[in-house]
């Protein structure tokens, strides 16, 4: 293993932004499924040999990618994805635990549009890990424009990061239907309560939902057309077909599959998640105006 070296795996929007950020203080390699003309782009084998890895591939692809490509050699890993596997309802930390010990892995959360990070604009992120030592070993790689915090609440950060994508879809629908700022603020506030309730069931800490990972990322994504998930919501409000919306987007909108995962988990464990459930129904074809009526019922 190449001691002290770092690589990003996945050269999508977020992978490229993280590569830019992590290249400010030292050389950072990058690798992806499709070859790109990016400085320090390497093949997967070379990247995998680095001591530090940041993995930025969509949540639904992670299990297959790990099975096919990953060899654990003691690397320290940061997961940059935000989502829940729809097929199984498993959280990303559960999937990774089959391949990497807890002390070697952390999860990035917090409000961070790739488009702003790649311009070097300031932001604050949380590195969530069972190991503070892991956080401390990654912290020096981050550039001066990114403030990092540590949290041991891995499940809280994961649920917050995944759930806010579903709520961003709901908020996009609200915006598209021109329901007004009162409605949007109510939706976002009740969404925050809902994701906290869901998280509590799985042992997440309340404080994670009130900080950067929860409220911070939710307020960002549920209020901006820069969010892919928000734009999915806008498209749904115009009665566009989901297939066409995703084609036009051309990038991942994790909230689509995560809505499925939350719907199934909340049904299985009897957790009250009305907003996520309506998003799932709208994605399946329900008229958003009927969802609104159902959400407003006393």
Ligand X SMILES: NC(=O)C1=CN([C@@H]2O[C@H](COP(=O)(O)OP(=O)(O)OC[C@H]3O[C@@H](n4cnc5c(N)ncnc54)[C@H](OP(=O)(O)O)[C@@H]3O)[C@@H](O)[C@H]2O)C=CC1
- Binding site residue list for substrate: 82, 228-229
Q: Quote the least distance from Cβ 194 to ligand X, whole Å.
A: 19
Report the b/e string of 182-219 with b at 16+ CB within 10 A. Answer: ebbeebbeebbebbbebbeeeebbeebbebbbbbbbbe
- Can residue 86 be called a binding residue for ligand X (CB under 6 A)? no
- Can residue 10 be called a binding residue for ligand X (CB under 6 A)? yes
Nearer to ligand X, 165 or 277 (CB): 165
Secondary structure E strands in 17-83: 29-31, 50-55, 76-79
Cite the active site residues.
164
List the one residue from 93, 112, 196, 213 that touches ligand X (CB under 6 A): 112
Q: Quote the least distance from Cβ 184 to ligand X, whole Å.
A: 21
How far apart CA 144 and CA 146 sit, in angstroms, is 6
Residues in Cβ contact with 18 at an 8 Å cutoff, skipping those fewer than 6 apart? 8, 54, 56, 80, 117
Q: Quote the least distance from Cβ 227 to ligand X, whole Å.
A: 8
**Which DSSP letter does residue 297 get?**
-
Interaction partner, residue 221 (ligand 13P, ligand X, none; CB < 5-8 Å by kind): ligand 13P
Closest by Cα among 35, 37, 70 to 55: 70
Between residue 137 and residue 196, which ones bind ligand 13P under the rule CB under 6 A? 165, 168
Q: Quote the least distance from Cβ 229 to ligand 13P, whole Å.
A: 4
Secondary structure E strands in 18-98: 29-31, 50-55, 76-79
Between residue 87 and residue 126, which ones bind ligand 13P under the rule CB under 6 A? 111-113
Q: What is the separation, in whole angstroms, between the first and last Cα of the chain?
A: 60
- Can residue 83 be called a binding residue for ligand X (CB under 6 A)? yes
Residues of this chain that bind ligand 13P (CB under 6 A): 82, 111-113, 165, 168, 217, 220-221, 227-229
Residues of this chain that bind ligand X (CB under 6 A): 10-15, 32-34, 56-59, 61, 64-65, 80-83, 112-114, 251-252, 254
């Amino acid at each position: 293993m190449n001691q002290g070296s770092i690589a990003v795996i996945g050269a999508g929007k977020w992978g490229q932004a993280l590569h830019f950020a992590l290249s400010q203080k030292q050389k950072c390699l990058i690798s992806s499924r499709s070859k790109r003309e990016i400085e320090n782009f390497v093949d997967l084998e070379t990247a995998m040999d680095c001591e530090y890895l940041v993995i930025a591939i969509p949540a639904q692809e992670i299990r297959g990618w790990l099975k096919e490509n990953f060899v654990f050699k003691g690397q320290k890993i940061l997961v940059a994805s935000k989502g829940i596997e729809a097929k199984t309802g498993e959280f990303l930390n559960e999937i990774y635990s089959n391949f990497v010990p807890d002390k070697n892995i952390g999860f990035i959360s917090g409000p961070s549009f790739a488009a702003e990070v790649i311009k070097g604009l300031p932001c604050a992120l949380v590195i969530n890990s069972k190991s503070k030592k892991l956080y401390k070993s990654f912290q020096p790689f981050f550039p001066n424009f990114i403030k990092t915090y540590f949290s041991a609440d891995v499940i809280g950060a994961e649920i917050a990061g995944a759930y806010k994508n579903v709520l961003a879809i709901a908020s996009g629908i609200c915006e598209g239907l021109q329901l007004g700022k009162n409605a949007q603020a109510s939706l976002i506030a009740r969404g925050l309560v809902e994701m906290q309730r869901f998280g509590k069931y799985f042992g997440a800490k309340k404080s994670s939902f009130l900080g950067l990972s929860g409220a911070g990322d939710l307020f960002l994504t549920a209020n901006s057309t820069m969010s892919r998930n928000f734009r999915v919501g806008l498209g749904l409000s115009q009665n566009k077909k989901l297939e066409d919306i995703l084609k036009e987007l051309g990038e991942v909108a994790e909230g689509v599959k995560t809505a499925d995962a939350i719907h199934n988990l909340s049904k299985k464990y009897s957790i009250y998640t009305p907003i996520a459930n309506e998003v799932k129904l709208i994605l399946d074809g329900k008229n958003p105006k009927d969802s609104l009526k159902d959400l407003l019922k006393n």
